[in-house]
Structure 1
């Protein structure tokens, strides 16, 4: 085959491929070229839709989140420690034989079998202090679980509203894109008829592209936020989330004095620190109780065989007490005292942090509320109506293209700032609730 003929065949094949790719129904290229038609791939499974309100999302999170499951195991672990602390020491059973090997004696004619049971009795209330310490530890584990719910619940709510934020941004960007798509169509016709300059058409086209890029950006942000929420809820990527709780404004008037009191009394991490402090105090009492030695009481019985030298039956009773001459748990007491002081300092630090967190969250909420209400006072309507007025004036020749673009950018900026302020306000409400440790009624 000549080189020319080979090139013709290659060109023909390329033409067939291009035509196949451009056809509306995408005819398989192998069939068009004379080959066998490939089998159609199996259709992808449809995404499963899941409608969730904010409360339903939080409830699903509490059931499925692995971090909470791991934290909850700490409660069972502390319950096991509590059971162990209440147990008594096991008695000790000793069984042995004694025999003599002098003067012709053997095990068979002089053996003695003895049995003894010993029991340790703890003194100075050691068992009670252990039970007290373990009880505080169990309550601390429960409070730590509640605090994990508080902190991770903030993450769930934030992810939920980030999706709504991206959705609101997307809706705004689509509205602007569609508006300028119509403007671009009309002005393309006007340009062809010579009514406007080419530079004006280019400016409109660039503004349309800008809005189109914003649409793509906010779609990506919404999908990223949905992925974060699905991960928190342990949902498959195939699940399509439909959120029903809107990002709306609900005025909240918190009583800061009451919130401070509630936070210091009821917040779970504060309760954890108080319980840890009480546990360290119980550990100190236990360490001091170890200065007093425990008592071991034993009772036994011994019997000789029938050929023993005197064949007596013997009973024994003994009491053992360690002499605290050297070790009076001096180091343990010192360590327990340091642990108490450390727990007290940690508690005071946490109380100070809580007071400041509540105060900062309250101030942020008030400022963001003022900003949202300023937008709702008429600024949004003014921005929309101004764009509409300028657009109509431009169509009649009473405004320039620069006036129209400036009005569009101003309207877009005002509406985006409102959405940002609304999200910031809702986030500050959630942060204040987290700082207080309970929901705030609107």
Structure 2
């Protein structure tokens, strides 16, 4: 018996690691499957945001709820059944059954329906405004990820270059051609570039997080399908953009709000006309039946709905002022976004044609001269720093052009023309 127990114990010791490894693999497998990459192009990201973003779904639900309000506004008032019984003695007891039918006068029902329809229109235009904003934010977030990816790639290339420079400096120190201080400076410069690599990775993670929140996805799963060449938004002439402001979602929504307030004024004005209640019934008294007809009309001596009418008139004035304010705000923001886009595109063009080629040429010359002993390592470091700053400035200008273009799309509520591929360098 002891031998059997000992054999089982030994078998258990051999099987335990295998079982543990199997359990670990089974635990890792779902995690690996869960973070399977999701390839996103710009159009796919916008489509997902339009379909999944909770703000859009909430606006759509509000518009759908307004359909119920329109239906309720057209419902006729319910009649009222009234039963009266007078007396307790059979000789003088009387019973009356009558139907009170309210009749709305002054066009109250049609005015109420128009007001509800205008409110439904405002809710639908709210959906369009939210969609335009989310579309612009998604477009900007997508291109920010593209710019962050490019910055991370550039930082990696510069880290490789810095590593080569450090190796060259170490060889020259071993050969006795330069002081060990040069190698120390090279190591410090390489460490600085590694910091840039870490910062670029963090910025990429943040950009992916912003995009993931818009498209409803795990940031770890996002795999951006970036274009092969840098694509910049096309600069549309400002007069053409200003002409589109009349159809901007914000303006259309504010204009619909004015129409809704005017419809509410009609409702309040119609309520000044008193409604009539018609009573039709039958009365039984001492074995005889009598027909009962009645008419009830409230006397508008004190309450003529004057306060509610005045309130609705002032709110209509407020809605008109808000329409003017919205148009003025959109115009100012459009001027600002167009100026930002124009400045960013000019900066990109200048850097790609004038700055980057010179910075790359200077760095190659400095590196080659340092290897030949013609330049000091400080000159190589200066050239390297200038090259990185130029590329970083170029990427920042590209990202700013994306943001400005997205703001324009959000303001006018339409997609600007297809981006044009720049002829500038990116490498």
Answering whether residue 130 of structure 2 is matched by residue 154 of structure 1, we say: no
Is residue 165–residue 423 contact of structure 1 (8 Å, CA) maintained in 2?
yes
Larger Rg over CA atoms: 1
Question: Shift of the alpha carbon at 1:201?
Answer: 0.4
For residues 74-95 of structure 1, the C-alpha deviation after alignment (integer angstroms, 9 at most, x for no partner) is 1022111111111110111123
Q: Give distance in 1, aligned partners of 2:412 and 2:209.
A: 29
**Aligned structure 1 segments of 4 or more residues deviating by more than 6 angstroms:** none
Question: Shift of the alpha carbon at 1:241?
Answer: 3.0
Q: Return closer, same or farther for 1:37/1:289 CA change in 2, 3 Å cut-off.
A: closer
Answering whether residue 311 of structure 2 is matched by residue 346 of structure 1, we say: no
Aligned to 1:216: 198
Aligned to 2:400: 424
Aligned to 1:67: 55
1:48 alignment partner, SS class: coil
Answering whether residue 229 of structure 2 is matched by residue 254 of structure 1, we say: no
Answering whether residue 150 of structure 2 is matched by residue 174 of structure 1, we say: no
Output aligned runs, 1:19-418, within 5 Å: 39-40=20-21, 42-43=24-25, 44=28, 45-46=31-32, 47-99=35-87, 101=88, 106-107=89-90, 111-245=93-227, 248-250=230-232, 252-263=234-245, 265-304=246-285, 308=286, 311-418=287-394
Question: Shift of the alpha carbon at 1:197?
Answer: 0.8
Question: Shift of the alpha carbon at 1:240?
Answer: 3.7
Q: Return closer, same or farther for 1:251/1:115 CA change in 2, 3 Å cut-off.
A: closer
Q: Give distance in 1, aligned partners of 2:57 and 2:99.
A: 45
Question: Shift of the alpha carbon at 1:190?
Answer: 2.6
Q: Give distance in 2, aligned partners of 1:238 and 1:441.
A: 31
> Which runs of 5 or more residues in structure 2 are unaligned?
1-15, 419-427
Across the aligned residues of Structure 1 and Structure 2, the Cα RMSD in angstroms comes to 1.9
Q: Return closer, same or farther for 1:221/1:289 CA change in 2, 3 Å cut-off.
A: same
Q: Give distance in 1, aligned partners of 2:177 and 2:417.
A: 59
TM-score of the pair, normalised by structure 1: 0.85
Aligned to 2:13: none
For residues 226-272 of structure 1, the C-alpha deviation after alignment (integer angstroms, 9 at most, x for no partner) is 12222222223552433335672336241322211211x21112111
Is residue 247–residue 423 contact of structure 1 (8 Å, CA) maintained in 2?
no
Q: Return closer, same or farther for 1:240/1:276 CA change in 2, 3 Å cut-off.
A: closer
Question: Shift of the alpha carbon at 1:169?
Answer: 1.1
Q: Give distance in 2, aligned partners of 1:299 and 1:282.
A: 34
Q: Which moved further from structure 2: 42-51 or 347-356?
A: 42-51
For residues 418-438 of structure 1, the C-alpha deviation after alignment (integer angstroms, 9 at most, x for no partner) is 111111112211112222221
For residues 357-382 of structure 1, the C-alpha deviation after alignment (integer angstroms, 9 at most, x for no partner) is 11221122112111111123242222
Q: Give distance in 1, aligned partners of 2:226 and 2:363.
A: 31
2:232 alignment partner, SS class: coil
Q: Give distance in 2, aligned partners of 1:270 and 1:245.
A: 35
> Which runs of 5 or more residues in structure 1 are unaligned?
1-35
Q: Give distance in 2, aligned partners of 1:247 and 1:347.
A: 42
Question: Shift of the alpha carbon at 1:394?
Answer: 0.9
- Number of matched residues? 395
Q: Give distance in 2, aligned partners of 1:360 and 1:234.
A: 30
Question: Shift of the alpha carbon at 1:37?
Answer: 6.1
Q: Give distance in 2, aligned partners of 1:61 and 1:364.
A: 26
Question: Shift of the alpha carbon at 1:123?
Answer: 1.0
Question: Shift of the alpha carbon at 1:57?
Answer: 0.6
Q: Return closer, same or farther for 1:246/1:133 CA change in 2, 3 Å cut-off.
A: farther
Is residue 233–residue 402 contact of structure 2 (8 Å, CA) maintained in 1?
no
Q: Give distance in 2, aligned partners of 1:122 and 1:251.
A: 58
For residues 151-205 of structure 1, the C-alpha deviation after alignment (integer angstroms, 9 at most, x for no partner) is 2222222222222222111111111110121221232233223222111001111
Q: Which moved further from structure 2: 145-154 or 242-251?
A: 242-251
Is residue 161–residue 247 contact of structure 1 (8 Å, CA) maintained in 2?
no
